[in-house]
Amino acid sequence: MAEVSEPLRVAVAGTGFIGRVHARSARLAGATLVGVTASTPERSAAASAELGAERSFDSSEDLVVADDVDVVHICTPNHLHEPLALRALESGKHVICEKPLALDPSGAERLTAAAMSAGTVATVPFVYRYYATVREARARVDTGEIGDIRLIHGGYLQDWLTTPEDANWRVHEEFGGASRAFADIGSHWCDLVEFVTGHRITHVTAELLIAIPERFVREHQDAFSRSAGGEKKSVTTEDAAVVTLRTDRGAIGSVVISQISAGRKNQLRFEIDGSQATLAFDQENPETLWIGQQDGARLLPRAPELLSKAAAPYATLPAGHPLGYHDCFDSFIKDTYEAILNGVPDGLPDFAAGLRTTRITDAVLRSGRSGQTVEVEE
């Protein structure tokens, strides 16, 4: 592992929606944005100027091995994650790689092993872990306040692919992988509930839905925008999934994953039913944690003075001053850089977490194809 500088020197491969989020959080964390890449050299130059990078790279392959880069952020289409991350790790870089970590478990295993061999910090942006109310839910589970967990249920609903005119590279298997909705957003839900509960999902039974069998191919189109035409192609990746699950500690549950639920922009919700109390979180309303008991229910506000010691540091503003997705991303990037410079903070999602969700996704696909309950491989 090469020595790093302070401030850290970072580069971002991919400057679509999520790449721009990475660049913003990196600069807020005090890093120097050395360079970026986009889909073409011309787009890279334009993005470099817009984001305030020192320069643009002609290719992501050049970016991930550049001598003056300490940390590589990989925000490209999914099929490029594994080769770029592997080159970066082999070059001694610290890596932040978007999910899915790879297109299948074997690829994720190779990357996780490479990160361990390199001895560098390698993380995946499961940033919903960084809501203060999520940390509060985790703390209340850890103390035993809600009792034995019996049920874990919820969903992750979006609407940006509701119509045939909604097109994106993620739809097509050669760019996004064999799973779309579950790999893209179901992975977040699974990571979050395992993080909060400490349970591990061991078995899944899945129904997969392709609601729109043909869509336009737009390789470089980012999310949340309508297609302007192009070639129509058959769709082989799921628009939605309904999954029932069992855990290693005897809980059961279910989750509905959809990218075709009109009006739902980004509703990630979980509910954890224990023998003494229930906890519920909604990402679109993250300023409160719902706490239910048999004699009533209440909303716990995200107020630093009301939260546990584990959660209070993530409530960086007084109650009534909303915190959101950008703040979670800022905390994740800050924690990743802290791990590089000083030591690993609690709850940092590493490549092992990325491998974990890749294995769950693989089990969901196998169950959906076979119609059988499938065990998640360890």
- Which of 60, 108, 109 lies closest to 87 in space, CA to CA? 60
Instruction: Identify the bridge partners of residue 253 per DSSP, sorted by sequence position.
Output: 152, 245
Sheet holding 122-123, edge to edge: 55-56, 32-37, 9-13, 71-74, 94-97, 122-123
DSSP code string of 29-88? TT-EEEEEE-SSHHHHHHHHHHHT-SEE-S-HHHHTT-TT-SEEEE-S-GGGHHHHHHHH
Cβ atoms of 34 and 69 closer than 8 Å? yes
Cβ atoms of 77 and 221 closer than 8 Å? no
Strand residues in 129-259 grouped as ranges (E): 149-157, 201-209, 214-217, 231-234, 240-247, 252-258
Q: Which pLDDT does position 231 carry in this prediction?
A: 77
Q: Which pLDDT does position 165 carry in this prediction?
A: 87
CA 207, CA 370: separation in Å to the nearest integer? Answer: 10
Tokens 């090469």 found at: 2
Cis peptide before 7 (omega within 30 of 0): yes
CA 254, CA 242: separation in Å to the nearest integer? Answer: 7
Cβ atoms of 118 and 92 closer than 8 Å? yes
pTM tops 0.85 = yes
Catalogue the long-range contacts made by 301-310 (C-beta closer than 8 Å, 24 or more residues apart).
302/132, 302/133, 302/136, 307/132, 307/135, 307/136, 308/135, 308/136, 308/139, 308/140, 309/139, 310/135, 310/136, 310/138, 310/139, 310/142, 310/346
How far does CA 63 lie from the centroid of its chain? 23
Q: Which pLDDT does position 14 carry in this prediction?
A: 97
Domains of the chain as residue ranges with CATH: 9-123 (3.40.50.720), 128-374 (3.30.360.10)
Q: Which pLDDT does position 224 carry in this prediction?
A: 57
3-state secondary structure of 202: strand
Q: Which pLDDT does position 234 carry in this prediction?
A: 93
Q: Could you list the pLDDT tens digit for every one of the 378 residues in the chain?
A: 667 888 999 999 999 999 999 999 999 999 999 999 999 999 999 999 999 999 999 999 999 999 999 999 999 999 999 999 999 999 999 999 999 999 999 999 999 999 999 999 999 999 999 999 999 999 999 999 999 999 999 999 999 999 998 888 899 899 999 999 999 999 999 999 999 999 999 999 999 999 999 987 765 555 555 655 677 889 999 999 999 999 999 999 999 999 999 999 999 999 999 999 999 999 999 999 999 999 999 999 999 999 999 999 999 999 999 999 999 999 999 999 999 999 999 999 999 999 999 999 999 999 999 999 999 998
Residue length of the chain? 378
Measure the CA dihedral 283/263/18/366, to 10°. Answer: 80
Which H or E run includes 273?
strand 267-274
3-state secondary structure of 140: helix
Model confidence pLDDT, tens digit, residues 172-216: 899 999 999 999 999 999 999 999 999 999 999 999 999 999 987
Q: Which pLDDT does position 227 carry in this prediction?
A: 57
Model confidence pLDDT, tens digit, residues 211-237: 999 987 765 555 555 655 677 889 999
Token reading at 219: 């390789």
> Residue 341 is which amino acid?
L
Q: Which pLDDT does position 282 carry in this prediction?
A: 98
DSSP code string of 16-37? SHHHHHHHHHHHHTT-EEEEEE
DSSP 342: T
